Amino acid sequence: MPATNLSITKPLWKKLIKELKKRGKGIRESGAFLLGNSLKKEVTEFICYDELDPNSLDTGIIVFDGDGYIPLWKICREKGLQVLADVHTHPGNWTGQSGPDKKHPMIAQAGHLALIVPHLATKRGQLLNNIGIHEYLGDKQWRTWETVSGKFIITDK
Ligand SMILES: [Zn+2]
């Protein structure tokens, strides 16, 4: 498998964490799609789940309606970007995948990364420490990466 490391700049990562925290209000999960040019492997923007599906956070765990992909694909098409990864939060320090997380990849494409941020993204200075990095291998199979592997990296701007 090719080493397809994804990168994101620190300012954008911080902005992302801030949004996840704000939308989760410390009481519910929130999430976002990370977009960028798939050749450059750099995340250049993100779009939160509840911007695409306003009800996606209502139950406390993320339930993303299939219709939410329509505006997502439109944005990608218009901007010439691809979905490189997704991220969502979990309460507490557990960053493993739930049954539904494993069963329903947000993008069912091999190589897609699903990141999980602990403590509903409410911790100060949340970088890649303690986050879960799960790579979809296709056919409902996943591989969990150690953060130190550099599968997903934050660059200083
Ligand atoms: Zn989850």
Ligand 1 midpoint to CA 24 (Å): 13
In a domain, residue 116? The reply is yes
Scanning the chain, the segments in alpha helix (DSSP H) are 10-24, 49-52, 69-79, 99-103
Residue 49 inside a domain? The answer is yes
CA 135 – ligand 1 centroid, Å: 14
Q: Would 148 be classed as within a structural domain?
A: yes
User: In angstroms, what is the span from residue 62 Cα to ligand 1's centroid?
Assistant: 8
What spacing in Å lies between the alpha carbon of 86 and ligand 1's midpoint? 11
3-state secondary structure at position 149: helix
Taking the centre of ligand 1 as the mean of its atom positions, its distance from the CA of residue 120, in whole angstroms, is 11
Assess if residue 151 is contained within a domain. Answer: yes
Give per-residue pLDDT as tens, 89-103.
999 999 999 999 999
Instruction: Give the span between the Cα atoms of 7 and 11, in whole angstroms.
Output: 12
Structural domain boundaries enclosing 13: 6-155
pTM of the model: 0.94
- Centre of ligand 1 to C-alpha 57, Å, is 12
Instruction: Copy the structure tokens of residue 42.
Output: 């750099």
The number of distinct structural domains making up the chain is 1
Residue 1 has pLDDT above 80, yes or no: no
Whether residue 117 lies inside any domain: the answer is yes
Q: Phi/psi of residue 10, each to 5°?
A: -60, -45
Question: How many other β-carbons are positioned within 10 Å of the β-carbon of residue 73?
Answer: 10
Examine residue 54 and state whether it is found in any structural domain, yes or no.
yes
Looking at residue 144, which CATH number applies to its domain?
Answer: 3.40.140.10
Q: What is the pLDDT of residues 100-145, one digit of tens each?
A: 999 999 999 999 999 999 999 999 999 988 999 999 999 999 999 8
Report yes or no on 1 lying in a domain. no
